[in-house]
Amino acid sequence: MAEGGETASRVRLITVDDNHDGQRLDNYLLGQLKGVPRSWVYRVLRRGEVRVNKGRCKPARRLQAGDVVRIPPLRVSEKDAEEAPKGLQHNIEESIIYEDNLILIVNKPGGVAVHGGSGVSHGVIEALRASRPNAPFLELAHRLDRETSGCLMLAKKRSALRSLQELQLAGKIEKRYLALLSGRIRKGRWRADAPLKKNTLKSGERVVRVDPEGKQAISNFEVLQRFEKETLVSVELETGRTHQIRVHAADNGTPILGDPKYGDEEANRVMKEMGLRRLFLHAASLRFDWPEPGNRFQVEAPLPTELQAVLDKLAGSI
């Protein structure tokens, strides 16, 4: 053990196998260095301490089977190197709603990040890797905001990850969300197609705005249940932009309740008194053809009890 409560290691040379062919270098390192802070991984990449076939390379480089990756000696504190807490591991394992030899789907709890970073040490992927130390491959197939609950897909093989990514790029994965919006909405269905653009404030906070120069974004809303001053809607996405549903809902004048970034402060305060402690956005279902056309795959994630309790209170107050 190094001085100051640090652990150190030697240079490692790892040959990339077929299971990791085509994977980004940064994601490969994060998978190999379980429990190591993401900041350390990107720092050694910037410094050129990670080499592929003896050459410097960028984080986005796609690896090929047979490549030799040089990983520099680790020197991180024991605290930083700790694996995901056992409680989080158990919670995520208990949240799995579908698993086969290719894919795994978690009903992600609200408030749990999909991966560590930005002040969060561990997320879903770190918890699963820690609880399954002998798993040869495990990668996120997409993302959900930290406060959003529901269906989160992971791939257990490189081939499965590629297939899922191709399906998403082609718009062939039907993603349906449930959201509770501020306001009593009359119309049954509407299509939001305002283009969205990411912005970074002086504080460093990332926000997304409607902007004519932004990327195309399409969300299809449908009213499911109306309350006195709130409306439960179903949302199906045709695109998958950052904060898409949250920004489209706010642009409509009916922000998602419990949303601290794009929501209505007074409405959020009232709903907090009703028991809503988080963003009311839930990835309710996924539908797609898998693994070949004609084999229809569908999975649904039950609404979390804390969100269902809010709906029950609203229904009882009408």
Q: For the segment 44-89, what is each residue's pLDDT rounded down to a tens digit?
A: 898 899 999 999 989 889 999 899 999 988 765 444 456 778 888 8
- Fold annotation for 172-316: Pseudouridine synthase (3.30.2350)
Domain residue ranges of the chain, discontinuous segments joined by +: 6-76, 86-162, 172-316
Kindly report whether the peptide bond that precedes residue 291 is cis, defined as omega within 30 degrees of 0. yes
**How many whole angstroms separate alpha carbon 193 and alpha carbon 214?**
11
The average pLDDT across 126-141 equals 87
Q: Is the pLDDT of residue 152 over 50?
A: yes
Query: Which pLDDT score is estimated for 78?
Result: 41
> pLDDT (tens digit, 9 = 90+) per residue, 5-35?
444 468 889 998 887 888 889 888 887 876 6
**Pair 13, 69: CB distance under 8 Å:** yes
Tokens of 286: 């996924």
Query: Which pLDDT score is estimated for 30?
Result: 81
Query: Which pLDDT score is estimated for 35?
Result: 65
Query: Which pLDDT score is estimated for 197?
Result: 94
Query: Which pLDDT score is estimated for 82?
Result: 61
Sign of the Cα torsion 255, 259, 260, 264 reads: positive
Q: Is the pLDDT of residue 119 over 80?
A: no
- What is the value of pTM for the model shown? 0.77
Q: Is the pLDDT of residue 38 over 80?
A: no
> pLDDT (tens digit, 9 = 90+) per residue, 158-196?
889 989 989 998 889 999 999 999 999 988 999 999 999
Could you say which of 145, 251, 259, 289 is catalytic? 145
CATH H-level superfamily of 6-76:
RNA-binding S4 domain (3.10.290.10)
Tokens of 166: 């191709």
Of the candidates 34, 256, 35, the residue with the CA atom closest to the CA atom of residue 147: 256
User: Which of 206-209's residues contact partners 24+ apart within 8 Å by CB, and which partners?
Assistant: 206/242, 207/243, 207/261, 208/241, 208/242, 208/243, 208/244, 208/246, 208/247, 209/247
Query: Which pLDDT score is estimated for 4?
Result: 40
CATH H-level superfamily of 86-162:
Pseudouridine synthase (3.30.2350.10)
**Pair 155, 184: CB distance under 8 Å:** no
**How many whole angstroms separate alpha carbon 231 and alpha carbon 185?**
6
> pLDDT (tens digit, 9 = 90+) per residue, 266-310?
999 999 999 999 999 999 999 998 766 568 889 999 999 999 999
> pLDDT (tens digit, 9 = 90+) per residue, 218-243?
999 999 999 999 999 999 999 989 99
> How would you class 79 by CB atoms within 10 Å of its CB: exposed for 0-12, middle for 13-18, buried for 19 or more?
exposed
**How many whole angstroms separate alpha carbon 182 and alpha carbon 176?**
19
Q: Count of CB atoms within 10 A of residue 59's CB? A: 15
**How many whole angstroms separate alpha carbon 211 and alpha carbon 20?**
38
145 is known as an active-site residue:
yes
Instruction: Specify the 3-state DSSP secondary structure of 225.
Output: strand
**How many whole angstroms separate alpha carbon 219 and alpha carbon 235?**
7
Q: Is the pLDDT of residue 3 over 60?
A: no
Query: Which pLDDT score is estimated for 74?
Result: 74
Is there a common fold for 86-162 and 172-316? yes
Q: In which residue are the tokens 């561990």 written?
A: 122
| Bridge pairing between strands 75-77 and 103-108 | unpaired
